[in-house]
Amino acid sequence: MPTVSEHGWEPLSGARWRQRLPRRGPYDREQMLLEFARGKRVVHVGFVDEHRLEAKREGGTWLHARLAEAASSLVGLDVEEEGVRWAAEHGFEAHAVDAQSPEAVAGLGLQPAEVVVAGEIVEHLDAPGPFLRAMRELVTPEGLLVVTTPNAYRLLNFIAPVAGVELVHPDHTAWHSPHTLGTLLARSGWAIEGAAYYQNPAPRLDGVLGALVRGGRALFVRAGRLAPYWSDGLVVWARPADAARG
């Protein structure tokens, strides 16, 4: 697996089983993705957001719409045909495709993008390796792939088992650490440029409970800047390995 020593992400000397963790963050996930996309030709994979896109668009929180404002051009890909039709009817360029198939993705014949955003999708997949190889079909030779996913070491993953439960999305198939996600990317033809952590916003609750939750969340985020390893999620960005070697 490639090392990213300038980001503090590399195997500890003489310890193959011990991997140094990145320290950057935690950041606002969506703001970070918007900065990656700003002024670029972008493909957004998994943009439908589980049938919540209409409600999110009305509330101004749909990431795809925000990316459309930041990018010079934007194409959405998703396996959810109903959501793709809805987006196309509302003026977005969108295609229904199984992004775990390099052949199906190549068959779209899209103009290569400068940035591909794959946000909160790799943890849902049956075949993450073929998916990451399929992303090579979408970028220019020096294009950037940005992947976000929940962090295997997020603090709640250690707290919830005290009550005999786990807190996990019912559709997730895996948790990823910086090393496991980096290994998947490297095996799929990507050279990692950097990694950081993100923190989710506090739940929108009213009244005293909402104030307590927001206050506790703010304290947790501040503490996270000292020890970001327990943050909610990971952001890893990479370029095609051939371009990195060149």
Q: What is the pLDDT of residues 134-167, one digit of tens each?
A: 999 999 999 999 999 999 999 888 888 999 999 8
Q: What is the pLDDT of residue 217?
A: 61
- Average pLDDT value for the chain: 87
pLDDT of residue 19: 87
Q: Which domains does the chain have, with CATH numbers?
A: 20-241 (3.40.50.150)
Coil, strand, or helix at residue 13? coil
pTM of the shown model: 0.87
pLDDT of residue 199: 87
User: What pLDDT sits at residue 5?
Assistant: 43
Residues of the chain with confidence (pLDDT) below 70:
1-15, 50-54, 201-225, 244-246
Q: What's the confidence (pLDDT) of residue 74?
A: 98
Neighbour-count burial for 44-53, b at 16+ CB within 10 Å, e otherwise: bbbbbbeeeb
